[in-house]
Amino acid sequence: MLIEQMAFLLTKARIVKVIDLLEVNLGVPRQKKARTDPLDMLIGTLLSQNTNDRNSHRAYRKLRSRFPTWKKVAGAPVGAIASAIRVGGMKNQKSKRIKALLKNILEKNGSYSLRVLKGMNDNDVIEMLTSFNGIGYKTAACVLLFSLRREVFPVDTHIHRISNRLGLVETKTPEKTFEAMKPLVPKGKSYSFHTNLIRFGRTVCIAQRPRCGQCPLYDECVFSRKEMYASAKHPVSSRRNTDFMLLDEI
Ligand code: SF4
């Protein structure tokens, strides 16, 4: 067997182990029964950029209560949209993006709807969504996983960081990690793995000063500074805000 094939199979096996360990330690996440409309999910994900899930959820709820339909949002002045989403941060940039996005969607699909995505394959969905200004791979993959319920594994900065520290991939950007992880995540585990890695990245494998001494994945990890961080003192952690997942609440 070729060396690359063996390395691929070993990484796959390690990922299965990591998923198991996360499920044992953090639980098995379950998706809610009701499916969210893809356009709702797209705009919710756009609002989540550069802010925490609770604030972006508040921004999303305020936007929806002030403008009950996307057509009404599209027809509203940018300032009124910005005012509605203020709590989520970057209100000026995000309000312009939302308005431009809705205009693009109307031009492309003839209505303020993305239901057309339901009949498209994953690659075509990604191609269409990333053709809209301000929509990247992570956002497109979130629509696929959380709204369309496809076997797609979105990669944000937490997942990119942890996957590299664990040595599951060796990549420089979340986009490269997304491509590298595609064939590695087992079927039926995308949602659980994605959700648990985000929780894990917020509480244990945090960007600055990871809590390696409390890490259930310590033996699986190849991070060169894990021993140093394991012996470091950390303030008592708070789980407040860490379990709330915006995309489960839209
Ligand atoms: S040992 Fe440290 S760096 Fe490795 S996964 Fe755990 S917390 Fe992250």
In this predicted structure, what is the pLDDT of residue 233? 79
Report the atom number in ligand 1 closest to the C-alpha of 215.
6
Q: Would the pLDDT of 142 be above 60?
A: yes
pLDDT digits (tens, 9 = 90+) for 6-28: 999 999 999 999 999 999 999 99
In this predicted structure, what is the pLDDT of residue 33? 79
In this predicted structure, what is the pLDDT of residue 238? 53
- List Cα–Cα distances, 242 to 54, 199, 200, 203, in angstroms: 10, 6, 9, 7
In this predicted structure, what is the pLDDT of residue 32? 84
CATH class of 38-147: mainly alpha
Could you tell me where in the chain the CATH 1.10.1670.10 domains are found?
3-30+153-249
- Atom 2 of ligand 1, nearest CA residue: 212
pLDDT digits (tens, 9 = 90+) for 23-36: 999 999 998 878 89
pLDDT digits (tens, 9 = 90+) for 47-73: 988 888 889 999 999 999 999 999 999
For ligand 1, the distance from its centroid to the CA atom of residue 15, given in whole angstroms, is 14
Residues lining ligand 1, Cβ inside 6 A: 162, 165-166, 204-205, 210-212, 215, 217-218, 221, 223, 226, 229
Q: What percent of the chain has pLDDT over 90?
A: 84
State the Rg of the chain over Cα: 19
Report the atom number in ligand 1 closest to the C-alpha of 230.
2
In this predicted structure, what is the pLDDT of residue 239? 52
Tokens of 147: 């709204």
In this predicted structure, what is the pLDDT of residue 122? 97
- Cα–Cα nearest to 62, from 42, 80, 38, 36: 80
Pocket test for ligand 1, best of 162, 198, 199, 208 (most atoms within 8 A of CB): 162
For ligand 1, the distance from its centroid to the CA atom of residue 187, given in whole angstroms, is 25
Q: What percent of the chain has pLDDT over 70?
A: 95
| C-alpha to C-alpha distance for 99 and 87, rounded to whole angstroms | 18
For ligand 1, the distance from its centroid to the CA atom of residue 166, given in whole angstroms, is 7
For ligand 1, the distance from its centroid to the CA atom of residue 197, given in whole angstroms, is 11
Ranking 49-63, 87-101, 112-126 by mean pLDDT, the lowest is 49-63
Token pair 């305020």 in the structure block, residue = 62
Could you tell me where in the chain the CATH 1.10.340.30 domains are found?
38-147
For ligand 1, the distance from its centroid to the CA atom of residue 198, given in whole angstroms, is 13
For ligand 1, the distance from its centroid to the CA atom of residue 204, given in whole angstroms, is 7
- Say whether domain 3-30+153-249 belongs to CATH 3.40.50.300: no
- List Cα–Cα distances, 150 to 26, 117, 226, in angstroms: 23, 11, 34
